[in-house]
Structure 1
Amino acid sequence: MNQIFQVFCKNDNQHHYLPLGITLADAQKLMKIEKPYLIVNCKVNNKTESLDYRLYQPKHIEFVDMSESSGMRTYVRSLCFILAKAISEVFPNARMRIEHPISKGYYGRVGGKDKLTEKDINKIKAVMDDLIKEDIPFVALEDEKDKVVELFRERGFEDKASLLEASDSVYSKYYRLGDYFDYFYGYLVPSSGYIKLYDIEPYLNGFLLRVPNRNHPVELEPRIEQPKMQQVYLEHLRFLNILGMENVSDLNKANKSGNMSDVVKVAEALQERSIGDIAEKIAGRFKKGVRIVMVSGPSSSGKTTFRKRLEVQLMVNLIKPVGISLDDYFVNREDTPKDENGDYDYESLYSLDLKQFNDDMSRLLKGEKVSLPTYNFTTGQREYNGHELQIDENNVIIIEGIHGLNPELTKSIDDSKKFLVYVSALTTISLDDHNWISTTDNRLIRRLVRDFNYRNYSAIDTISRWNSVRRGEEKWIFPYQENADVMFNSAIMYELAALRKYAEPILIQVPKTAPEFSEANRLLKFLSYFSYINDSEMPPTSLLREFMGGSSFKY
């Protein structure tokens, strides 16, 4: 008689008796657990596991579908594995690199192909469709690290071999799909047949891998053209290519060989030059009537330090900046719109007094003296405390806020008077050719460190709020990105290596009993790929100092 044991399933809040050694995939069927969308992984005692994971003792389990971030990552990872194998069959020995997210999908290139044609794309898609139809298992394997490194090196995957070689693990996990081997730092679905929805299209000289909609994953994300953002990505990728810093293993090698000091200097110099270039563009437009500079971007993109460094560069261009905070234009608390949960929605554009803001800006542009409000966050009321402002011919107004690119914010101000800047951490360095680094993860790690250092928030606090922050960004920031006159990439090639020693102690504090443990555990695993670096050579004006501390700017 088969031994049985008990698990508690959070999906239906019931205990279930299961046979010893059952996989999570079979357990889901046995327990008849259903979710709105395709179930792709499961949390076991708050730690994400593959559906191939076998149960041998009592656990708390929770099945995850594609509508959750963890589930979508599992699905997209598995899709990328199928893509990599298909390209290896269509273009044997060619290097395939997935470079970055763009246009609601993922942009990649195939080495040796100056441009992928429609015919090339159709061949790749036909092989992918066949692999999906065959429903081939993704086989999880584990061996001594040196043997896995040798396996990847023999197959020409130097990027994966070098990444694993630098790790401090004795054993390494990897995956097989048919006769093709690959490495991913997260779990996959059980088999290729799980992939139900995707598309691949020609995009610039490469391809765009289209994925399911994150909010409604039974349809594809709409393709949204983002030429300005793509240009920023390509500029930084060219820069990294010239430096030989495309992947984390390249960064780790530079650190090991004692060259990190040069990497820091070059990375910081690149940002300073970019900020200087933006200041010169503003100066050129200043001569033509620009008097307001709007600085916008998502959470932890480094808007505040960017603004302070931009102000310095503007003064070099003989322009005197004056700052206005959008927060001071919050409506009184009782007039603040509420979200779907009945909480005050301070992310909403309509939490601001748009009429008063536009009236004040219009008067300032006419040269009038204006009494500016101050928002009292304790009382939730707007106050006037004698703060007055009048600008002259040498002034430009700098306004930082998440709604800066939304035309509705400054609809009463002529476009010729405005210059719009979008700031975001558009991460371009990758773990390896098939594992890009999420810009969202980059910002979340920054925020974890900043919230702990300056806001007395724990990792649990920050992680639990992150989904809400992301929803606000999707609604109020991202749709307006391409309205920017210029985009500034605040990501720094070495930053995750520098942030690791600050973030790890914060993440380690998350107990295994907390729902946020799975995310904390994932981020710890992610950070482990980066070698620790000495950040003492980071200048006090570095954008990273906003999060780590030691900045010469006052915040």
Structure 2
Amino acid sequence: MEKRLIQMAEKAQGDYSSPIVAVKLNGEVRDIQTPFSESDTISFIELNSSLGWKIYRRSVLFLLIAAVSKIEKNAEVIAKFTVNKGLYCEIKLPGREIDPAFIAKVDRTMRAMISENIPIIKHSIQRTEAIERFQKLGQSGKVNLLSELSQDIISIYTCEEYTDYLYGPMLYETKYLDRFELDHEPFGVLIRTPDERTHGQIRKRVSQPKFGSILAESKAWADILDCRFISDLNRINREQAIGELIRISEGLQEKRIAQIADHIASNREDVRLILIAGPSSSGKTSFAQRLRIQLRVNGLRPVMISLDDYFLNREDTPLNEKGLYDYESLDALDTKLFNQDMLALLAGQEVQIPRYNFITGMREWKEDAFLSIHSDQPIIIEGIHGLNEYLTKDIPRKNKYKIYISALTQLNIDAHNRIPTTEVRFLRRLVRDYQFRGAKALKSIRQWPDVRDGEEKYIFPFQEDADVLFNSALIYEIGVLKKYAVPLLEEIERGEEGYTEARLILRFLQYVNEISAIDDIPNNSILREFIGKSVFFS
């Protein structure tokens, strides 16, 4: 008789403080309906963990889609993006709009399914059989996705009469899925659930209209390019039309940068400080350089100042919870000197700009580091704290123009399977750190949780304070990054630290066909900051 992990999980549950939701089977994440053998290495994943809450959110999304299908067979749910501290899903209903009453009905249906404790059953079937099923259901995106896969056997999930293919494991009973809230949104719904930072509490809704608008713009760009899903990107690549896609993608970004520069130039008398901030690997440096060029086109002569030069001496740098120097903290910067210098520059005075020596951990004052500016010279400042008003607290708000930049991917795997923005940024960082810093994949994997914690503390809370948001994601970049990332991730062997994280990324990348048209990527592309041969980096 085939052994399944579910029985073992039920026996082990008493050793865990929260429900067991999945397992690491030989280092790879699997659901607990997976069969196993005596020789397998097994460790359980509980809900109260980063992986556990991701699995939980995926399961709640599955329940939502199943509930909508139960109410209206012809409804279409599309998982769009994370905003307002939840996941926004568009719902398309033939002949009617989505209103609060419909969302309330979905909520009641989901909670009824939870109270009935309906099993979510995993089936391993032939890929050809799955394709036939989804063809009958009219789910062309899923058909195209499955057609690209190489394996013969795939897993699908059923809940009552609803069947779906979701990327990654899910919980096996609906009774665990009661921690969620639904909010009606234009054309759809926002699902809010807990995560690893809320200690099991449902995220409170936070209105993010500016962030929402840039996410909507990113999806509009996908429509312009006729490339909404990974299968679309693979088709374009297969048809050797990827060069055109690259050029249009880059053209959309260049046009947006030019629009931002035009707006700054039209307010040149007031705007003197241009502050650029964003999370790790969002392409801030390349964006700043391209904006500088567009400002020159508008007759301005911007100068660039690095916030890194205003680090305190290492001995004065605050420590984080682990007792390490916290260079992510605003308190690591000499904000008093920074404000003093900026005010002096704006007043037409000459200022000696410090230079921070990262080897000695000391600020240096060099004779060739004096700076003064004229009225046609706005100051561009790039750094993670640019949106925090405290950084420039002594400078009038009208003299500041704040830009938030992030890589908000336009692609989905398919209608029900998103590609989280953090996944793409991690790939960028992984490739860049190896290309230019000689760092292996394991180091990037180890550092990523701390990077994410810093973003949550110091960047994301201020994104709505920006005057404009810019999306640095390029719709084709995943196929390019795959070429560089896969060999690095495959170096991590089973049993080594980071193996589980590496396998999760490799599993996601299996859906993407590698793009080899590297020469078609212009040398001023934001992507060049990560893969090399950028005109902005020596």
TM-score by length of 1: 0.93
Matched residues in 2 for 1:425 and 1:400: separation? 16
Partner of 2:50: 69
Q: Paired residue for 2:237, among 241, 255, 268? A: 255
Partner of 2:121: 139
When residues 542 and 211 of structure 1 are mapped into structure 2, their CA distance, relative to the original with a 3 A threshold, is: same
Q: Indicate conservation of the 8 Å contact 1:336/1:350, yes or no.
A: yes
Partner of 1:518: 500
Q: Paired residue for 1:421, among 403, 409, 414? A: 403
Q: Does 1:117 align with 2:102?
A: no
Q: Does 1:340 align with 2:321?
A: yes
Matched residues in 1 for 2:13 and 2:215: separation? 45
Q: CA deviation at 1:45?
A: 3.0
Instruction: Give the letter for the 2:318 counterpart.
Output: P
Q: Paired residue for 1:537, among 495, 509, 520? A: 520
Q: Paired residue for 2:487, among 496, 500, 505? A: 505
Matched residues in 2 for 1:184 and 1:341: separation? 37
Partner of 2:445: 463
Q: Indicate conservation of the 8 Å contact 1:46/1:515, yes or no.
A: no
- Aligned to 2:418, the other structure's residue is in SS state coil
Q: Indicate conservation of the 8 Å contact 1:297/1:477, yes or no.
A: yes
Q: Does 1:208 align with 2:190?
A: yes
Q: CA deviation at 1:58?
A: 4.2
Question: Identity, % of aligned pairs?
Answer: 39
Q: Indicate conservation of the 8 Å contact 1:67/1:216, yes or no.
A: no
Structural mapping, 1:63-102, within 5 Å? 63-102=44-83
Q: Paired residue for 1:364, among 345, 354, 357? A: 345
Partner of 2:286: 305
Matched residues in 1 for 2:199 and 2:134: separation? 33
- Aligned to 1:187, the other structure's residue is in SS state coil
Partner of 1:273: 255
Q: Indicate conservation of the 8 Å contact 1:117/1:202, yes or no.
A: yes
Partner of 1:24: 5
Matched residues in 2 for 1:499 and 1:516: separation? 19
Partner of 2:160: 178
Partner of 1:433: 415
Q: CA deviation at 1:377?
A: 0.9
Q: CA deviation at 1:55?
A: 3.8
Q: CA deviation at 1:150?
A: 1.3
Q: CA deviation at 1:241?
A: 2.2
Q: CA deviation at 1:206?
A: 1.5
Partner of 1:325: 306
Q: CA deviation at 1:22?
A: 5.0
Q: Indicate conservation of the 8 Å contact 2:89/2:188, yes or no.
A: yes
Q: Paired residue for 1:164, among 146, 149, 156? A: 146
Matched residues in 2 for 1:67 and 1:370: separation? 52
Q: Indicate conservation of the 8 Å contact 1:66/1:214, yes or no.
A: no
- Aligned to 2:386, the other structure's residue is in SS state coil
Q: Indicate conservation of the 8 Å contact 1:98/1:107, yes or no.
A: yes
Q: CA deviation at 1:116?
A: 1.6
Matched residues in 2 for 1:388 and 1:321: separation? 16
Q: CA deviation at 1:511?
A: 1.4
Q: Indicate conservation of the 8 Å contact 1:115/1:204, yes or no.
A: no
- Aligned to 1:101, the other structure's residue is in SS state strand
- Give per-residue Cα distances to partners, 1:323-368, cap 9 Å, x unaligned: 1111111111111111111111111110001111111111111111
TM-score by length of 2: 0.96
Structure 1 runs not aligned, ≥5 long: 1-19
Matched residues in 1 for 2:16 and 2:318: separation? 32
- Aligned to 1:492, the other structure's residue is in SS state coil
Matched residues in 2 for 1:452 and 1:238: separation? 33
Paired positions, count:
535
Matched residues in 1 for 2:532 and 2:153: separation? 36
Instruction: Give the letter for the 1:231 counterpart.
Output: S
Structure 2 runs not aligned, ≥5 long: none
Partner of 1:546: 529
Partner of 1:246: 228
Measured on the aligned residues, the alpha-carbon RMSD in Å equals 1.6
Q: Does 1:232 align with 2:214?
A: yes
Matched residues in 2 for 1:210 and 1:464: separation? 28
Q: CA deviation at 1:157?
A: 1.1
Runs of 4+ in structure 1 off by over 4 angstroms are: none
Partner of 1:4: none
Matched residues in 1 for 2:97 and 2:265: separation? 38
Instruction: Give the letter for the 2:216 counterpart.
Output: L
- Aligned to 1:375, the other structure's residue is in SS state strand
Matched residues in 1 for 2:154 and 2:35: separation? 19
Q: CA deviation at 1:217?
A: 4.1
